[in-house]
Protein backbone atom coordinates (compact mmCIF):
# COMPACT_ATOMS: atom_id res chain seq x y z
CA UNK A 1 0.00 0.00 0.00
CA UNK A 2 1.44 3.37 -1.01
CA UNK A 3 0.14 6.47 0.82
CA UNK A 4 1.01 9.93 -0.45
CA UNK A 5 -0.14 13.50 0.02
CA UNK A 6 -1.59 15.42 -2.92
CA UNK A 7 -1.79 19.11 -3.71
CA UNK A 8 -5.50 19.06 -2.88
CA UNK A 9 -5.04 18.53 0.88
CA UNK A 10 -5.97 14.86 0.75
CA UNK A 11 -4.37 11.52 1.41
CA UNK A 12 -3.99 9.24 -1.61
CA UNK A 13 -3.65 5.53 -0.85
CA UNK A 14 -2.94 3.10 -3.66
CA UNK A 15 -2.62 -0.67 -3.55
CA UNK A 16 -2.55 -2.74 -6.71
CA UNK A 17 -5.48 -1.78 -8.95
CA UNK A 18 -7.32 0.21 -6.23
CA UNK A 19 -6.85 3.81 -5.16
CA UNK A 20 -8.61 5.88 -2.50
CA UNK A 21 -8.37 9.66 -2.23
CA UNK A 22 -9.19 10.63 1.36
CA UNK A 23 -9.97 14.33 1.96
CA UNK A 24 -8.43 15.83 5.09
CA UNK A 25 -11.93 16.72 6.28
CA UNK A 26 -12.75 13.02 6.56
CA UNK A 27 -9.81 12.35 8.83
CA UNK A 28 -10.95 15.30 10.95
CA UNK A 29 -14.51 13.95 11.01
CA UNK A 30 -13.15 10.65 12.31
CA UNK A 31 -10.87 12.30 14.87
CA UNK A 32 -13.71 14.50 16.13
CA UNK A 33 -15.48 11.35 17.35
CA UNK A 34 -12.70 10.88 19.93
CA UNK A 35 -12.12 12.54 23.26
CA UNK A 36 -9.01 14.69 23.73
CA UNK A 37 -7.39 11.84 25.66
CA UNK A 38 -8.24 9.26 23.02
CA UNK A 39 -6.66 11.41 20.30
CA UNK A 40 -3.25 10.73 21.80
CA UNK A 41 -1.23 7.79 20.49
CA UNK A 42 -3.86 6.47 18.10
CA UNK A 43 -3.47 4.82 14.72
CA UNK A 44 -5.59 5.43 11.63
CA UNK A 45 -6.45 2.22 9.81
CA UNK A 46 -7.75 2.23 6.26
CA UNK A 47 -8.40 -1.34 5.21
CA UNK A 48 -8.99 -2.53 1.64
CA UNK A 49 -9.65 -6.26 1.77
CA UNK A 50 -10.76 -8.53 -1.11
CA UNK A 51 -13.65 -10.70 0.04
CA UNK A 52 -13.34 -14.46 -0.58
CA UNK A 53 -14.06 -15.42 -4.17
CA UNK A 54 -16.82 -17.82 -3.12
CA UNK A 55 -18.62 -15.02 -1.22
CA UNK A 56 -18.20 -12.66 -4.16
CA UNK A 57 -19.58 -15.24 -6.58
CA UNK A 58 -22.60 -15.81 -4.34
CA UNK A 59 -23.37 -12.08 -4.20
CA UNK A 60 -22.97 -11.71 -7.96
CA UNK A 61 -25.15 -14.75 -8.63
CA UNK A 62 -27.96 -13.23 -6.56
CA UNK A 63 -27.54 -9.89 -8.36
CA UNK A 64 -27.55 -11.55 -11.77
CA UNK A 65 -30.69 -13.50 -10.94
CA UNK A 66 -32.59 -10.46 -9.67
CA UNK A 67 -31.62 -8.16 -12.56
CA UNK A 68 -31.79 -10.71 -15.39
CA UNK A 69 -28.53 -9.25 -16.73
CA UNK A 70 -25.20 -10.75 -17.72
CA UNK A 71 -22.67 -9.55 -15.13
CA UNK A 72 -18.89 -9.71 -15.37
CA UNK A 73 -16.50 -8.53 -12.67
CA UNK A 74 -13.26 -6.63 -13.12
CA UNK A 75 -10.82 -7.77 -10.45
CA UNK A 76 -12.27 -8.51 -7.03
CA UNK A 77 -14.96 -7.32 -4.65
CA UNK A 78 -13.20 -5.06 -2.13
CA UNK A 79 -14.38 -4.34 1.40
CA UNK A 80 -13.29 -0.86 2.53
CA UNK A 81 -13.20 0.42 6.12
CA UNK A 82 -11.71 3.42 7.92
CA UNK A 83 -11.16 3.56 11.67
CA UNK A 84 -8.96 4.86 14.48
CA UNK A 85 -7.43 2.38 16.90
CA UNK A 86 -6.53 3.84 20.31
CA UNK A 87 -3.61 2.78 22.46
CA UNK A 88 -6.03 0.66 24.51
CA UNK A 89 -7.21 -1.15 21.36
CA UNK A 90 -10.53 0.68 21.21
CA UNK A 91 -11.74 0.95 17.59
CA UNK A 92 -13.72 3.96 16.37
CA UNK A 93 -15.06 3.48 12.82
CA UNK A 94 -16.39 5.84 10.21
CA UNK A 95 -18.94 4.08 8.03
CA UNK A 96 -20.46 7.12 6.30
CA UNK A 97 -19.04 10.57 5.77
CA UNK A 98 -20.08 14.12 5.02
CA UNK A 99 -17.52 14.83 2.31
CA UNK A 100 -17.21 12.17 -0.39
CA UNK A 101 -14.16 10.03 -0.90
CA UNK A 102 -12.90 9.30 -4.41
CA UNK A 103 -12.44 5.68 -5.35
CA UNK A 104 -10.53 4.42 -8.40
CA UNK A 105 -10.55 0.92 -9.86
CA UNK A 106 -8.38 -0.19 -12.76
CA UNK A 107 -10.70 -1.85 -15.28
CA UNK A 108 -10.07 -5.13 -17.05
CA UNK A 109 -9.59 -4.07 -20.71
CA UNK A 110 -11.63 -7.07 -21.88
CA UNK A 111 -14.79 -5.45 -20.45
CA UNK A 112 -16.94 -3.00 -22.38
CA UNK A 113 -16.24 0.31 -20.62
CA UNK A 114 -19.60 1.72 -21.83
CA UNK A 115 -21.43 -0.98 -19.88
CA UNK A 116 -19.17 -0.84 -16.84
CA UNK A 117 -19.60 0.97 -13.53
CA UNK A 118 -18.79 0.83 -9.84
CA UNK A 119 -21.33 -0.97 -7.67
CA UNK A 120 -21.95 -1.22 -3.96
CA UNK A 121 -22.75 -4.85 -3.09
CA UNK A 122 -25.25 -5.17 -0.27
CA UNK A 123 -24.99 -8.28 1.91
CA UNK A 124 -28.36 -9.54 0.63
CA UNK A 125 -27.04 -9.55 -2.97
CA UNK A 126 -28.64 -6.26 -4.03
CA UNK A 127 -26.47 -4.32 -6.46
CA UNK A 128 -26.55 -0.56 -5.92
CA UNK A 129 -25.20 1.34 -8.91
CA UNK A 130 -22.68 4.01 -7.93
CA UNK A 131 -21.67 4.88 -11.48
CA UNK A 132 -18.37 6.49 -12.22
CA UNK A 133 -16.41 7.95 -15.10
CA UNK A 134 -14.01 5.94 -17.23
CA UNK A 135 -10.67 7.80 -17.30
CA UNK A 136 -7.39 6.39 -18.61
CA UNK A 137 -8.30 2.78 -17.95
CA UNK A 138 -9.79 3.46 -14.52
CA UNK A 139 -13.36 3.78 -13.26
CA UNK A 140 -13.55 6.78 -10.93
CA UNK A 141 -16.44 7.65 -8.61
CA UNK A 142 -17.23 9.40 -5.34
CA UNK A 143 -18.59 7.39 -2.44
CA UNK A 144 -20.29 8.50 0.78
CA UNK A 145 -20.04 5.31 2.79
CA UNK A 146 -17.82 2.27 3.14
CA UNK A 147 -18.61 -1.35 2.45
CA UNK A 148 -18.13 -3.78 -0.44
CA UNK A 149 -17.47 -2.34 -3.89
CA UNK A 150 -16.63 -3.79 -7.29
CA UNK A 151 -16.40 -2.83 -10.94
CA UNK A 152 -18.99 -4.73 -12.95
CA UNK A 153 -19.96 -4.95 -16.60
CA UNK A 154 -23.76 -5.00 -16.68
CA UNK A 155 -25.26 -6.19 -19.96
CA UNK A 156 -29.03 -6.20 -19.97
CA UNK A 157 -30.55 -7.79 -23.05
CA UNK A 158 -34.21 -7.59 -23.98
CA UNK A 159 -35.92 -10.24 -26.08
CA UNK A 160 -37.59 -7.59 -28.27
CA UNK A 161 -34.40 -5.60 -28.95
CA UNK A 162 -32.39 -7.65 -31.43
CA UNK A 163 -28.65 -7.13 -31.89
CA UNK A 164 -29.46 -5.52 -35.25
CA UNK A 165 -31.89 -2.93 -33.81
CA UNK A 166 -30.78 0.61 -34.67
CA UNK A 167 -30.94 1.71 -30.98
CA UNK A 168 -29.52 -1.43 -29.33
CA UNK A 169 -26.29 0.25 -28.18
CA UNK A 170 -28.12 3.20 -26.63
CA UNK A 171 -30.61 0.93 -24.87
CA UNK A 172 -27.87 -1.34 -23.48
CA UNK A 173 -25.78 1.63 -22.32
CA UNK A 174 -28.68 3.38 -20.56
CA UNK A 175 -29.71 0.08 -18.96
CA UNK A 176 -26.12 -0.35 -17.72
CA UNK A 177 -26.33 3.14 -16.18
CA UNK A 178 -29.68 2.13 -14.64
CA UNK A 179 -31.42 5.08 -16.28
CA UNK A 180 -33.96 2.95 -18.14
CA UNK A 181 -35.75 -0.27 -17.33
CA UNK A 182 -37.72 -2.73 -19.36
CA UNK A 183 -41.48 -2.82 -19.23
CA UNK A 184 -40.94 -6.19 -17.57
CA UNK A 185 -37.92 -8.40 -16.86
CA UNK A 186 -37.49 -9.44 -20.50
CA UNK A 187 -39.17 -6.79 -22.68
CA UNK A 188 -38.26 -3.20 -23.53
CA UNK A 189 -40.97 -2.40 -26.11
CA UNK A 190 -38.73 -0.07 -28.16
CA UNK A 191 -41.48 1.06 -30.54
CA UNK A 192 -43.99 1.86 -27.82
CA UNK A 193 -44.62 5.57 -27.32
CA UNK A 194 -43.20 7.25 -24.23
CA UNK A 195 -45.16 9.54 -21.95
CA UNK A 196 -44.25 12.91 -20.51
CA UNK A 197 -43.92 11.33 -17.06
CA UNK A 198 -41.69 8.52 -18.33
CA UNK A 199 -39.30 10.88 -20.10
CA UNK A 200 -39.18 13.16 -17.07
CA UNK A 201 -38.18 10.21 -14.89
CA UNK A 202 -35.44 9.28 -17.37
CA UNK A 203 -33.98 12.81 -17.28
CA UNK A 204 -34.02 12.97 -13.49
CA UNK A 205 -32.17 9.64 -13.29
CA UNK A 206 -29.69 10.64 -16.00
CA UNK A 207 -28.77 13.85 -14.19
CA UNK A 208 -28.79 12.13 -10.79
CA UNK A 209 -31.03 14.88 -9.42
CA UNK A 210 -32.40 14.39 -5.91
CA UNK A 211 -33.50 17.80 -4.66
CA UNK A 212 -37.30 17.70 -4.39
CA UNK A 213 -39.37 20.81 -5.12
CA UNK A 214 -43.05 21.56 -4.93
CA UNK A 215 -45.35 20.76 -7.82
CA UNK A 216 -48.59 22.68 -8.24
CA UNK A 217 -49.90 20.31 -10.89
CA UNK A 218 -53.36 19.08 -9.97
CA UNK A 219 -53.05 16.03 -12.25
CA UNK A 220 -49.89 14.71 -10.52
CA UNK A 221 -51.50 12.73 -7.75
CA UNK A 222 -49.90 11.97 -4.40
CA UNK A 223 -48.26 8.58 -4.46
CA UNK A 224 -48.07 8.35 -8.26
CA UNK A 225 -44.88 6.59 -9.36
CA UNK A 226 -43.73 9.76 -11.14
CA UNK A 227 -44.68 12.26 -8.40
CA UNK A 228 -41.16 12.65 -7.00
CA UNK A 229 -39.50 12.80 -10.45
CA UNK A 230 -41.89 15.55 -11.55
CA UNK A 231 -41.28 17.61 -8.39
CA UNK A 232 -37.49 17.22 -8.82
CA UNK A 233 -37.69 18.25 -12.49
CA UNK A 234 -39.83 21.27 -11.63
CA UNK A 235 -37.27 22.48 -9.08
CA UNK A 236 -34.42 21.94 -11.55
CA UNK A 237 -36.26 23.96 -14.20
CA UNK A 238 -36.44 21.07 -16.66
CA UNK A 239 -40.20 20.94 -17.11
CA UNK A 240 -43.19 23.19 -17.44
CA UNK A 241 -46.77 22.08 -17.44
CA UNK A 242 -49.18 22.15 -20.31
CA UNK A 243 -50.76 24.90 -18.19
CA UNK A 244 -49.96 26.47 -14.83
CA UNK A 245 -51.84 23.70 -13.04
CA UNK A 246 -51.59 20.64 -15.31
CA UNK A 247 -48.66 18.49 -16.37
CA UNK A 248 -50.51 15.87 -18.42
CA UNK A 249 -48.20 13.06 -17.24
CA UNK A 250 -49.78 10.27 -19.29
CA UNK A 251 -49.80 12.18 -22.59
CA UNK A 252 -47.55 10.80 -25.30
CA UNK A 253 -44.59 13.17 -25.52
CA UNK A 254 -44.09 15.12 -28.73
CA UNK A 255 -40.68 15.53 -30.29
CA UNK A 256 -40.54 19.28 -29.64
CA UNK A 257 -41.47 18.71 -25.98
CA UNK A 258 -38.82 16.04 -25.58
CA UNK A 259 -36.07 18.14 -27.16
CA UNK A 260 -36.96 21.18 -25.06
CA UNK A 261 -36.84 19.20 -21.83
CA UNK A 262 -33.65 17.49 -22.93
CA UNK A 263 -31.85 20.74 -23.74
CA UNK A 264 -32.76 22.20 -20.35
CA UNK A 265 -31.20 19.07 -18.87
CA UNK A 266 -28.18 19.47 -21.19
CA UNK A 267 -27.54 22.97 -19.83
CA UNK A 268 -27.51 21.58 -16.27
CA UNK A 269 -25.37 18.56 -17.17
CA UNK A 270 -22.74 20.42 -19.19
CA UNK A 271 -22.98 23.78 -17.38
CA UNK A 272 -23.09 25.67 -20.68
CA UNK A 273 -25.23 28.23 -22.46
CA UNK A 274 -26.99 27.20 -25.65
CA UNK A 275 -26.25 28.62 -29.06
CA UNK A 276 -29.79 29.51 -30.06
CA UNK A 277 -29.11 31.82 -32.97
CA UNK A 278 -28.32 29.52 -35.87
CA UNK A 279 -31.35 28.37 -37.82
CA UNK A 280 -31.52 24.64 -38.43
CA UNK A 281 -31.79 23.06 -41.85
CA UNK A 282 -35.15 21.51 -41.04
CA UNK A 283 -37.60 22.42 -43.77
CA UNK A 284 -40.53 22.43 -41.31
CA UNK A 285 -38.93 24.75 -38.75
CA UNK A 286 -41.89 27.10 -39.12
CA UNK A 287 -44.08 24.41 -37.56
CA UNK A 288 -42.01 24.29 -34.37
CA UNK A 289 -43.68 26.03 -31.42
CA UNK A 290 -42.07 29.33 -30.44
CA UNK A 291 -41.23 28.03 -26.96
CA UNK A 292 -39.37 25.05 -28.45
CA UNK A 293 -37.57 26.72 -31.36
CA UNK A 294 -34.37 27.75 -29.52
CA UNK A 295 -33.98 24.25 -28.06
CA UNK A 296 -34.54 22.56 -31.42
CA UNK A 297 -32.00 24.84 -33.11
CA UNK A 298 -29.42 24.30 -30.37
CA UNK A 299 -29.89 20.52 -30.42
CA UNK A 300 -29.51 20.45 -34.20
CA UNK A 301 -26.34 22.55 -34.03
CA UNK A 302 -24.88 20.08 -31.54
CA UNK A 303 -25.92 17.13 -33.76
CA UNK A 304 -28.01 15.69 -30.93
CA UNK A 305 -31.12 15.33 -33.08
CA UNK A 306 -31.84 14.14 -36.58
CA UNK A 307 -34.77 14.91 -38.78
CA UNK A 308 -37.19 12.34 -39.98
CA UNK A 309 -38.04 11.92 -43.67
CA UNK A 310 -36.95 14.61 -46.15
CA UNK A 311 -35.03 16.64 -43.56
CA UNK A 312 -38.10 17.39 -41.50
CA UNK A 313 -38.03 17.60 -37.73
CA UNK A 314 -41.75 16.78 -37.34
CA UNK A 315 -42.19 18.69 -34.04
CA UNK A 316 -45.59 17.19 -33.23
CA UNK A 317 -44.43 13.66 -33.99
CA UNK A 318 -44.79 11.14 -31.19
CA UNK A 319 -41.60 9.73 -29.69
CA UNK A 320 -40.87 6.04 -29.16
CA UNK A 321 -38.99 4.54 -26.24
CA UNK A 322 -36.10 3.69 -28.59
CA UNK A 323 -35.91 7.28 -29.89
CA UNK A 324 -35.92 8.68 -26.36
CA UNK A 325 -33.11 6.29 -25.36
CA UNK A 326 -31.00 7.20 -28.38
CA UNK A 327 -31.45 10.93 -27.78
CA UNK A 328 -30.61 10.76 -24.09
CA UNK A 329 -27.58 8.56 -24.73
CA UNK A 330 -26.16 11.15 -27.16
CA UNK A 331 -26.47 13.83 -24.50
CA UNK A 332 -24.67 11.71 -21.91
CA UNK A 333 -21.74 10.75 -24.13
Q: Which of 284, 298, 289 shows the shortest CA–CA distance to 257? A: 289
Q: What is the pLDDT of residue 73?
A: 94
163-219 per-position pLDDT tens digit: 999 999 999 999 999 999 888 888 999 999 999 999 999 999 988 888 888 888 999
Give me the mean pLDDT over the 252-263 stretch. Answer: 94
Question: Residue 276's pLDDT is what?
Answer: 67
Distance CA 124, CA 259 (A): 40
User: How far, rounded to the nearest angstrom, does the alpha carbon of residue 274 sit from its chain's CA centroid?
Assistant: 23
Mean pLDDT value across the chain: 87
pTM, to two decimals: 0.86
Domain limits, CATH 2.60.220, in the chain: 2-155
Phi first, then psi, for residue 92 (nearest 5°) are: -115, 120
Which H or E run includes 120? strand 116-121
pLDDT score, position 315: 93
pLDDT at position 8 is 54
pLDDT value for 286? 92
Rounded Cα distance between 309 and 307, Å, is: 7
pLDDT on residue 6: 46
Whether the pLDDT of residue 67 is over 50: the answer is: yes
**Would you state the CATH architecture of domain 2-155?**
Sandwich (2.60)
pLDDT band at 4 (very low <50, low <70, confident <90, very high): very low
Measured CA to CA, the distance from residue 136 to residue 28 in angstroms comes to 31
Q: Which of 19-28, 244-253, 310-319 has the lowest mean pLDDT?
A: 19-28
- Tell me, what's the pLDDT at 1? 45
- How much of the chain exceeds pLDDT 90, in percent? 55
Percent of the chain with pLDDT over 70: 94
CB 123, CB 112: distance < 8 Å: no
Amino acid sequence: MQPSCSDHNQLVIQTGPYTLEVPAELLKQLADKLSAEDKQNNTIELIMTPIPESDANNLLAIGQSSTHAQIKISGKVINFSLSIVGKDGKVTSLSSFDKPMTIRFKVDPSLNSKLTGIYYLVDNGTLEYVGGTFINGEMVAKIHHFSKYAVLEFKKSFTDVKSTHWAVDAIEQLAAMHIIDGTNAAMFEPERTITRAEFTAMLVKALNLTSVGESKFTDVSKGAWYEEAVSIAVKAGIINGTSTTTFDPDARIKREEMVTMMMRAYVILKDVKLNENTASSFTDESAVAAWALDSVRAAAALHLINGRDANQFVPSGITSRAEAAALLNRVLQ
